[in-house]
Amino acid sequence: MIEELYKAAEQEAPNEMCGLIIEQNGIEKFIKCKNLEDDKKNGFKIDPKLFVQYQLNSKIKYVVHSHYEEDSTPSKHDKNACKALGIPYMIVSYPEKGVTVYDPS
Residues sharing a CB contact under 8 Å with residue 76, sequence separation 6 or more, in sequence order: none
From the list 46, 77, 49, the residue with the least C-alpha distance to 62 is 46
Residues in 47-86 at the binding interface with Zn ion, rule: CB under 5 A: 75, 78
| CB-count exposure of residue 94 (10 Å: 0-12, 13-18, 19+) | buried
For the bound state, the minimum distance from the C-beta of residue 24 to Zn ion, rounded and expressed in Å, comes to 26
Q: What is the largest CA-CA distance in the chain?
A: 36
Q: Closer to Zn ion by CB, 22 or 90: give it.
A: 90
Q: Closer to Zn ion by CB, 43 or 60: give it.
A: 43
Residues in 9-28 at the binding interface with Zn ion, rule: CB under 5 A: none
Q: Closer to Zn ion by CB, 22 or 64: give it.
A: 64
For the bound state, the minimum distance from the C-beta of residue 46 to Zn ion, rounded and expressed in Å, comes to 13
Could you list the residues that contact Zn ion (CB under 5 A)? Answer: 75, 78
